[in-house]
Amino acid sequence: MNFPPEAPLLEVKNLRVSFPSAAGVVGAVQNISFALARGRTLALVGESGSGKTVTAHALLRIVPAPGVIEAGRMVFRSRRVGEIDLAHLDEKSGLLFQVRGGLISLIFQEPMTALSPVHSIGSQIDEAILLHQEVSPAAARRQTLEMLNRVGIAEAARRYSQFPHELSGGLRQRVVIAMALVCRPELLIADEPTTALDMTLQAQILGLIKNLQREIGCAVLLITHDLGVVAQMADDVAVMHRGEIVERGGVREVLKRPRHAQTRALLEALPSRRGILV
């Protein structure tokens, strides 16, 4: 491997992403830096519009036009392909293709964004496997059924042939998690993975992500605006505000002694749960 074993899995340095428009340039992400160690969970929190999703999309190089990565490095140290800079991978390189869904997976906030309405859920997970692994369709199907079981979907063989609209929101999100993790990525990015779900389902899905993370050994970049979720899931936290990271640290210390007004505002958004956080 071309890096020391203790080096962080991901190091984002001075990342800047902008959206030029007729009205001027919107600096969606302004010079942010953060690191994430192998197997750990970093929560990126902040109010709506603070730049969380743009950061996630920059990592996978899927920022929609006219958005551009203007500056910075995103060093990813993969056990499989070595050290790469995601910011400078060629758009058409096979490596970028391998990164997306193979080395780094993304769970979108809204499960329907990730799922095709016209294909069975089983065939969609098969396809993710076949894109990234050299296995037969039959072997892919076996992996899919096993993964559906692992994410807590009963009667996997029957569910395999169902379409997304035949499943509840909670089951759909389990399918998305199965698809994201079936190729055992080194990094999982979960962008508000439970915001669309009610509180009971939210706790179940977060627990599931945590268990699978442990099993697979992947790191998680968890995006949320909910500090309750941060307390349950993350080791470290970075608070974003208007495209910048304004506070960061271990979860306990940041939640116990928030220094930035933005962090305090996010804490105050959960008055009834504040007591269980710290």
With CB under 5 to 8 Å by kind, the binding choice for 28 among ligand ADP, Mg ion, none is: ligand ADP
Per-residue x/- track, 35-64, Mg ion (CB under 5 A): ------------------x-----------
With CB under 5 to 8 Å by kind, the binding choice for 207 among Mg ion, ligand ADP, none is: none
Please report how close the Cβ of residue 25 comes to ligand ADP at its closest, in angstroms: 10
Task: State which residue, 110 or 235, has the beta carbon closest to Mg ion.
Answer: 110
Smallest CA-to-CA distance from 263 within 55, 44, 57, 51 is with 44
Total chain residues near Mg ion (CB under 5 A): 1
The torsion angle over the Cα atoms of residues 11, 216, 117 and 169, rounded to 10 degrees, is: -100
Task: State which residue, 164 or 243, has the beta carbon closest to ligand ADP.
Answer: 243
Task: State which residue, 76 or 108, has the beta carbon closest to Mg ion.
Answer: 108
Is 272 a binding residue for ligand ADP by CB under 6 A? The answer is no
Task: State which residue, 111 or 122, has the beta carbon closest to ligand ADP.
Answer: 111
Number of residues written out for the chain: 278
Please report how close the Cβ of residue 54 comes to ligand ADP at its closest, in angstroms: 3
3-class DSSP state of 70: strand
Smallest CA-to-CA distance from 228 within 261, 251, 205, 257 is with 251
Site for ligand ADP in 1-20 (CB under 6 A): 19
Task: State which residue, 41 or 53, has the beta carbon closest to Mg ion.
Answer: 53
CB 240 within 8 A of CB 44: yes
Task: State which residue, 30 or 173, has the beta carbon closest to ligand ADP.
Answer: 30
- Distance, in Å, from the CA atom of 14 to the CA atom of 261, rounded to the nearest integer, reads 23
Please report how close the Cβ of residue 51 comes to Mg ion at its closest, in angstroms: 9
Beta 68-78 vs 82-85: how paired, if at all? antiparallel
Applying CB under 6 A, among 26, 68, 96, 112 the residue interacting with ligand ADP is 26
Please report how close the Cβ of residue 193 comes to ligand ADP at its closest, in angstroms: 13
Task: State which residue, 178 or 189, has the beta carbon closest to Mg ion.
Answer: 189
Per-residue x/- track, 42-81, ligand ADP (CB under 6 A): ----x-xxxxxxx---------x--x--------------
Residues that bind ligand ADP (CB under 6 A): 19, 26, 28, 46, 48-54, 64, 67
Residues that bind Mg ion (CB under 5 A): 53
